Structure 1
Amino acid sequence: MNICFIMYPWEEIDAEHDTSLALIKECVKRGHGVAMCTPANLTIRNSVTCAYCTVIGRMDKTPSSLKAFYKKAQLREEMLPLAGFDVIFFRANPPLDPIMLNFLDSVKDDVFIMNSLQGMREANNKLYTAAFGDAHSNIIPATHVSKSKKHLLKQIKESTADKMILKPLNGFGGSGVILIERSAMSNINSLLDFYINSSDGTSNYVILQDYIEGADQGDVRILLLNGEPVGAMKRVPGSDDHRSNVSAGGSIQKHSLSKEEKALCKQIGPKLVNDGLYFVGIDVIGGKLVEVNVMSPGGITYINKVYKPKVKIEEKVIDFVESKVQDKLQAFDRRMRLRKTVEEA
């Protein structure tokens, strides 16, 4: 297979912990051709959607460690047509660039894209979790989204909770997530002004969410593949930060899914698959769904580490990708055979 990873620049990769690098390494190890490009490097040449790609040279022997693989990789630059790939693996960080999706629309029928373009359009921000909550479901915390300061202040005043979480709609990696407490509300006006108002005069949506008891003990990151959990870890906040994201100083621990967490995965899995969201990271606190990451879900290297040597999630992910490509090829061959039968009739 030939696989193109649309992601962040190679030089920004964390050579010890990067999930994208783990997936790339597994592809190279299996002999697949691998190229990478950033969303900004998509282009159209002679009416063909292409990308300025960084191509990884094939290796006779793939180093066992991520760090050694990153150091040894031989790279070259080349413009390549996207329809020539078997797979496009989307791994760019939020926020989602809608123009980039327009480029990919032209090849979506030729290439298997992980995750689907329509699925990413629907689920690329934190609003997607609202799709899983209704009057008969209690799997998400009470959530309010608005760019109206007046409305958000009203929700805070009417809430009976002592604590709430405030965060930007398009944040990731724990950026901008703060805890607000009823006993210290003197700065709430200035905080909302800061989150809502941009320097260019535009306004931003803000999420206000009920605080879940036990959140100070950390959250659980669960990776789902084709709607099924394939790995999980508990993320524990550092001593001087309420956020549990590893990028914010949190630490990781082994975690076995609880009965409630298994039920949660079973409930949301079918919708994820139906939306073409095959590789997803969800964050769970106290059995409640807090966030869904469909663009660049991370955690593979950390989960592998705490469950070493039993777990290698990247192998399961690439197995799945290979199976989807094989299904696509078999469907194409069958269609050609049937077409030939009709033409020869």
Structure 2
Amino acid sequence: MKIAVLMDDIVNINPKKDASLAMMLEATRREWEVYTFDTTDLFADEDGVYAHASQTTVADNLEHWFEKQPSQIMALSAFDVILMRKDPPFDMDYIYATYFLEQAEKQGVLVVNKSQSLRDANEKLFTLNFPHCIPKTLVSSNQAQIKTFIEAQRTAVVKPLDGMGGRDIFKFEIGDSEIDTTLKRLTNNNKRPIMVQEFLPEIVKGDKRILLIDGKPIDYALARIPAKGNFKGNLAAGALGVGQPLSRRDYWLCEQIAPTLKAKGLMFVGLDVIGDTITEINVTSPTCIRELDTQFNLNIAGVLFDAIEQKIKPRK
């Protein structure tokens, strides 16, 4: 079996926490050949779609976690599976990469997550498909409308539609001195929509990351507890990751979205839950595998690869 991982340069990852590395380690345990490449390595001509791919050997070693062979031109159709693990921003370069991967899908390659569904499921806007599961929400580029919403909620959180890791997320009350300047920048002066949600005080108990594999949740979530003086439940923003069993409400939320995830071929998804509500549905490169594996002696990548093996279609 040959698997390729479309990802940012492996030299720059944090091997202690990187979920893509966990997946490559699992592929190695199954004796699959592992290759890596980035979006800039993709190209196409009238005969097909290709990548400058490097065969990559990985190890669970914080000092020496990979070795890469010189790149070679390989048809994407040569792979049995391609994992799309490129981090946001979800920009046009990302979208172009999904078009390349879509051509591979037409030749029988399993792409995780499905290319079209990555384009369809913006991680913020996708939540609007489940209005009974989300907090009070506004998506708009109109600064006056946004300020009216913030005033009605008393406190609200604003965030761009294409970010990750807590970047450019702000908590505002009407009258805050930076609100006009920040909204002008985030909306590109009323030209770019952003998301605004009511502030959920339950964030003090953590922003729970729930991992779903082919619509079925892992039984433990990672509650990301904001650092003192911060409201962001992002590990990249200094939050502390504390594992905990899923609650009955968590399972209910997963049940609400699972049929849609399965129908869209979104095999590996990270659901963000604060209190009783879904705030984001992460489909691009969800993390937290390694933290949950460590805290609960799990092998989440193993569960994922079991599901992948069930979906690989024999090819002549």
Q: Is 1:317 aligned with 2:304?
A: yes
Q: Distance in 2 between matches of 1:147 and 1:11?
A: 38
Secondary structure of the corresponding residue to residue 246 of structure 2:
coil
Q: Distance in 1 between matches of 2:272 and 2:264?
A: 19
Secondary structure of the corresponding residue to residue 175 of structure 1:
coil
Q: Please state how far the C-alpha of 1:203 moved relative to its aligned partner.
A: 3.6
Q: Please state how far the C-alpha of 1:82 moved relative to its aligned partner.
A: 0.2
Secondary structure of the corresponding residue to residue 35 of structure 2:
strand
Q: Choose the corresponding residue for 1:228, options 212, 216, 219.
A: 216
1:84 maps to which residue?
A: 78
Q: Choose the corresponding residue for 2:128, options 114, 130, 148.
A: 130
Q: Is 1:102 aligned with 2:99?
A: yes
1:339 maps to which residue?
A: none
CA deviations on 1:270-309 (whole Å, 9 max, x unpaired) are: 11111111110010011200001101000000111111x3
Equivalent residue letter for 1:322: E
Q: Is 1:70 aligned with 2:65?
A: yes
Instruction: Answer whether contact 1:283 1:289 (CA < 8 A) is retained.
Output: yes
Q: Distance in 1 between matches of 2:148 and 2:243?
A: 40
Equivalent residue letter for 1:131: N
Secondary structure of the corresponding residue to residue 302 of structure 1:
helix
CA deviations on 1:291-341 (whole Å, 9 max, x unpaired) are: 01101000000111111x3x111111111112211xx11xx68xxxxxxxx
2:29 maps to which residue?
A: 29
Q: Please state how far the C-alpha of 1:13 moved relative to its aligned partner.
A: 1.2
Q: Return 120-129 or 44-53, whichever deviates more.
A: 44-53
Q: Distance in 1 between matches of 2:166 and 2:221?
A: 18
Instruction: Answer whether contact 1:22 1:66 (CA < 8 A) is retained.
Output: no
Q: Is 1:262 aligned with 2:251?
A: yes
Q: Is 1:247 aligned with 2:236?
A: yes
Larger-gyration structure (1/2): 1
User: Are the structure 2 counterparts of residues 68 and 318 from structure 1 closer, same or farther at C-alpha, using a change threshold of 3 Å?
Assistant: farther
CA deviations on 1:119-174 (whole Å, 9 max, x unpaired) are: 111113310000111xxx2x1001111112222123223x1x22111111111111
CA deviations on 1:233-253 (whole Å, 9 max, x unpaired) are: 111011132111111111111
Q: Please state how far the C-alpha of 1:46 moved relative to its aligned partner.
A: 5.3
CA deviations on 1:99-127 (whole Å, 9 max, x unpaired) are: 11222222212201111112111113310
Secondary structure of the corresponding residue to residue 261 of structure 1:
helix
1:190 maps to which residue?
A: 181
Equivalent residue letter for 2:10: W
CA deviations on 1:253-282 (whole Å, 9 max, x unpaired) are: 121111111111111111111111111001
Q: Distance in 1 between matches of 2:150 and 2:170?
A: 14
Q: Distance in 1 between matches of 2:18 and 2:80?
A: 23
Q: Please state how far the C-alpha of 1:45 moved relative to its aligned partner.
A: 4.3
C-alpha RMSD of matched pairs (Å): 1.8
Instruction: Answer whether contact 1:25 1:69 (CA < 8 A) is retained.
Output: no
Alignment of 1:1-345 (within 5 A): 1-45=1-45, 47-57=47-57, 63=59, 65-67=60-62, 70-71=65-66, 73-96=67-90, 97-109=94-106, 110-133=108-131, 137=132, 139-157=133-151, 159=152, 161-182=153-174, 184-197=175-188, 203-230=191-218, 231-307=220-296, 309=297, 311-325=298-312, 328-329=313-314
Secondary structure of the corresponding residue to residue 268 of structure 1:
helix
Q: Please state how far the C-alpha of 1:177 moved relative to its aligned partner.
A: 1.1
Secondary structure of the corresponding residue to residue 245 of structure 2:
coil
Instruction: Answer whether contact 1:95 1:124 (CA < 8 A) is retained.
Output: no
Secondary structure of the corresponding residue to residue 89 of structure 1:
strand
Q: Distance in 2 between matches of 1:66 and 1:89?
A: 22
Q: Distance in 2 between matches of 1:91 and 1:40?
A: 14
Identity of aligned residues (%): 30
Q: Which runs of 4+ in 1 moved over 4 A?
A: none
Equivalent residue letter for 1:170: D
Instruction: Answer whether contact 1:25 1:66 (CA < 8 A) is retained.
Output: no
* TM-score, normalised relative to structure 2: 0.93
Q: Distance in 2 between matches of 1:46 and 1:123?
A: 29
Equivalent residue letter for 2:98: L
Q: Distance in 2 between matches of 1:317 and 1:102?
A: 24
Secondary structure of the corresponding residue to residue 24 of structure 1:
helix
Instruction: Answer whether contact 2:42 2:51 (CA < 8 A) is retained.
Output: yes
Secondary structure of the corresponding residue to residue 150 of structure 1:
helix
1:336 maps to which residue?
A: none
Equivalent residue letter for 2:99: N
Instruction: Answer whether contact 1:129 1:290 (CA < 8 A) is retained.
Output: yes
